[in-house]
Amino acid sequence: MAWSDGYIGIPYADRGRGFDGCDCWGLARLVYARELGIALPSYTESYSSAEEAAEVAALLDRRHDKQIWQPVENPRPFDLILYRHGRLSTHVAIVIDDRWMLHIQSDDAAKIEDRTDPRWVSRFVGVYRHIQTRLKED
């Protein structure tokens, strides 16, 4: 059983942060806490709804400015993939391996999808690695 199997089927919940329901950032938080022991900020106080795309995009931009997340060329498990929704970067997924990602979207449940699918490739912004995972590997 792969680590990602334990997250499949978690229902979508706007601003959710647990197994009873989460949004894409909540899923990333859950995976990082359980699998890596890294506590990511909640950000629930920073936006009113995951549908508030501009607010979510601003949070993602701030995260990069703090150098907590570093862009990488060669994704590996647990890196985060950032995708555009429209013109704003508002969706994150978690790398499983060279082809697959774990993510959740509104009106759906957490699932594994092929990140090489053209509909994802066309929205791709970048892949980011948390600084603490870099420190653990060095």
Per-domain boundaries in the chain: 3-137
More confident residue, 45 or 65: 45
Identify which of 79, 63, 99, 73 has the alpha carbon closest to the alpha carbon of residue 31: 79
The H helix count followed by the E strand count for the chain is 4, 8
Residue 134, pLDDT > 70, answer no
Looking at domain 3-137, what is its CATH homologous superfamily? Answer: endopeptidase domain like (from Nostoc punctiforme) (3.90.1720.10)
Q: How far apart are CA 135 and CA 138, in angstroms?
A: 5
- Kindly report the average pLDDT of the chain as a whole number: 84
Q: What are phi and psi of 73, to 5 degrees?
A: -90, -35
Stretch 85-107: mean pLDDT, rounded? 91
Instruction: Return d(Cα 16, Cα 29) in angstroms, integer.
Output: 10
Return the pLDDT at 63: 53
Give me the pLDDT at residue 123, please: 94
Residue 69 pLDDT grade (very low, low, confident, very high; cuts 50, 70, 90): confident
